[in-house]
């Protein structure tokens, strides 16, 4: 009987522990946040063998994009007006990686070039082309 009561109390305490409590959604700012790429044109952007760094971008208050396509670093200007977002010429370093990574990186850069609008909901960011087709999906990882 004491053992059953002990198990019941421990179970009740475990159910109330902080790890089981959901944290409320957190809104993060568009600018200054490290946005990790989750999908490029519907294809998962998971880390693959030979990849040097995650696909990511950060957008600064000064109108600069910095980031990585998994192999090369990216740099560009951008203009944001309401929900419209357009990037200027995108410069990249010229390191070579495996063909698989280079194909993915080119698709990522092309998606950035075709970006016309964005939408942000809590910790998720999406970039769209002119026809509102989802080009890129990001998740907020941290503020650098």
Decide if 79 contacts 59 (C-beta within 8 A). no
- Which of 11-15, 54-58, 93-97, 138-142 comes out lowest in average pLDDT? 11-15
Closest CA to 50 of 109, 97, 94: 97
As a CATH number, domain 26-142 is 2.40.128.270
Mean pLDDT of 64-80: 95
Instruction: Decide which of 70 and 134 is more confident.
Output: 134
Distance between CA atoms of residues 75 and 77, nearest Å: 7
pLDDT at position 13: 41
Q: How many CA atoms lie within 13 A of 58 on its CB side?
A: 13
Q: Domain residue spans in the chain?
A: 26-142
User: Helix, strand or coil for residue 11?
Assistant: helix
- Separation between Cα atoms, residue 112 and residue 76, nearest integer Å: 10
Of 74, 75, 72, 76, the closest CA to residue 52 belongs to: 72
Maximum alpha-carbon separation in the chain:
73
Mean pLDDT highest for which of 23-32, 48-57, 64-73?
64-73
């Amino acid at each position: 009987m004491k053992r059953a009561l002990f198990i019941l109390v421990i179970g009740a305490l475990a159910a109330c522990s902080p790890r089981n409590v959901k944290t409320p959604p957190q809104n993060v700012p568009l600018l200054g946040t490290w946005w990790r790429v989750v999908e490029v044109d519907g294809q998962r952007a998971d880390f693959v063998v030979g990849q040097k760094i995650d696909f990511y971008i950060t957008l600064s208050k000064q109108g600069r994009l910095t980031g990585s396509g998994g192999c090369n670093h990216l740099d560009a200007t951008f203009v944001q007006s309401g929900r419209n977002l357009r990037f200027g010429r995108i410069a990249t370093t010229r390191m070579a990686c495996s063909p698989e990574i280079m194909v993915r990186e080119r698709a990522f850069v092309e998606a950035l070039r075709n970006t016309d609008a964005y939408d942000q909901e809590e910790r998720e960011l999406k970039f769209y082309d002119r026809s509102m087709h989802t080009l890129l999906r990001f998740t907020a990882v941290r503020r650098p």
